[in-house]
Amino acid sequence: MDNQGGITVQRALELPGLRSGLPEVVAGADRLHRTVRWVHAGEVPNIASLLKGGELLLTTGLGLGTRPAEQRAFVRRLADRGIAALVVELGPRFARLPATIVETARAAGLPLVQLHREVPFVAVTEEIHTEIVNGHYALQRQAEEVHRQCTEALLGGGGVPQVLRILSDFAANPVFLETADGQLLYAAGTESAPADPLQVWDGLRGQRAARESGPPSGTVLVDVPGGGPGTGSVRARLVLLAVSGPLSPVHRMAAERAAGLLAVVLMQARQEEELAARGRGDFLTDLAEGRITAEDAPAQARVLGFKPGDGPLLPVVMRLAPELSPSGNWALLARAVLEELSAVGVPALLGVRPVEGRVPLLLGLRSESERTAVADRVAAALRAGVERAGLERAGAHPPIVVVGVAGSWAAASAGLRHAAETATAAQGLSDLPWYDARRLDIDLLLWRLRDHPDLAAFVDRAIGPLRDHDATSRPPLLPTLQTYLAHAGRKAETARELHLNRQTLYNRLARISELLGTDLDDPQTVLALSLALRARRHTP
């Protein structure tokens, strides 16, 4: 079987039916790799008109004619029709094939085989057809396996990039997803393929511009449908390019199945804006998780429209509380935030990650010194975008904005990952416009320990008596302790923030010390209480 859904001429000759006829290849021995798509037996002179190409023709030679001119014309018509091979059974018509037939087949590049023994053509046809059908079934199974892997990737929380990577690995060639008008959305290459998929895409774009036509031959194009059933609209297009090796029908079969899955993903996205925002979010996540190297990132970011200067890159992540989820309309949020960011005046690459409820972005700074000022403006723009998208709700936790460390592309990778994790760990903190990721490392460490029973036990030992008190008595004392520690034990500032007179504050602090059996002036006690107050957000 070959990977195009048939068997080769060589394979057909090796099957018992033809092998019993003692086949002798007299022309086209270098072309036995041709694909046999079907088998036909016939004895009429005009048999070529009945064929479509790719057939293996069985004959006793009765239709070849008796004159050399007739024989040459017969063979040429078969070669022009594109049959896979001509097999002639020797016997009453020919004891050996005439030189005219052999020479014409050799000149036309047509494999020519003579059989020295009689074989039942019906049995040969059935045998080869069974082999071809089994081959098609094997290809179907290969394509279905790719479909299964893609489905599992999507059910596991993956997105379009994972589907494209699976398809690219199967085809051993780069794969692209473009809009219906030819704009690149995603690109995927393989580890075994030396070509950079984005360089390949740039070359393809140049060829299209020069030729004013479609992609080069050997390319597999599969439409990803959009809209409702029967509309015939195209939302996007899968493009497989034959760079590292040829593409075959099994690759098209796999691409067609992947396109069906992508159609569902894109329908869920609903709008091109959300699709593009998801694509940018996937890029930023892949960068954060090391799936894109710092060397490859700038070129891919340029394709996505991000062209920072020579200054440092500032990673920022906004995380929405679950109750603020846009319920599928992430396009509206992305558009609103981008419009707000346009006033900030720095290059920005913004994406969305609906599964995690995150909005990651990279900003191009002119210098490190403007980090704080830009962070202030960006945080305001992000929150304004959330409000414009209609996601502000009474009683809901506000979004958390975390700003990482500015630096190179390599630093941006680690910075995005750190900011994303910290934004998760920061849920439930008091509402600041934005948080410096470096100042939340303790919260991140405690969040990572959230499922460890020792953390819950520590919190219970440190502040359990206060939690028990606040559950049954008034006024609650935990807020007093938290404010007191936030002001580093400065009683005057604590009293002002809590709107208490000093004596009332002193009485509450004394009651806290009594319940906990500790001295609030002891540094080790203060450290333990501070950690426990932070850790309680992550424990039952």
d(CA 502, CA 105): 109
Determine the pLDDT at residue 97. Answer: 92
Distance separating the N- and C-terminal Cα atoms of the chain: 61
| Interior angle at CA 524, CA 520 and CA 530, nearest 5 | 70
The encoded tokens of residue 427 equal 């849920």
For each of the domains in the chain, give its residue range(s) and CATH number, in order of start. 7-131 (3.40.1390.20), 159-269 (3.30.450.40), 275-448 (3.30.70), 453-538 (1.10.10.2840)
Reduced to 3 states, what is the DSSP secondary structure of residue 339? helix
Q: How far is CA 500 from CA 193, 486, 497, 506, in A?
A: 69, 16, 8, 10
Does this model's pTM top 0.85? My answer is: no
Determine the pLDDT at residue 1. Answer: 45
Q: Are 256 and 332 in contact (CB under 8 A)?
A: no
Element (H, E) at 488: none
Which segments in the chain show pLDDT lower than 50?
Answer: 1-3, 209-211, 228-231
Determine the pLDDT at residue 20. Answer: 92
Determine the pLDDT at residue 229. Answer: 45
Q: Are 186 and 176 in contact (CB under 8 A)?
A: yes
Determine the pLDDT at residue 230. Answer: 44
The encoded tokens of residue 115 equal 């059989």
| Interior angle at CA 357, CA 351 and CA 360, nearest 5 | 30
Determine the pLDDT at residue 194. Answer: 55
Determine the pLDDT at residue 7. Answer: 82
d(CA 228, CA 231): 6
d(CA 193, CA 425): 39
Determine the pLDDT at residue 323. Answer: 65
d(CA 13, CA 192): 34
Reduced to 3 states, what is the DSSP secondary structure of residue 188? strand
Determine the pLDDT at residue 2. Answer: 47
Closest CA to 302 of 172, 409, 404: 409
Q: What are φ and ψ of residue 98, in 5° steps?
A: -60, 150
Instruction: Tell me if the bond preceding 45 is cis, omega within 30° of 0.
Output: no
Sheet holding 358-364, edge to edge: 348-350, 358-364, 313-319, 400-403, 435-436
Determine the pLDDT at residue 413. Answer: 92
d(CA 493, CA 293): 48
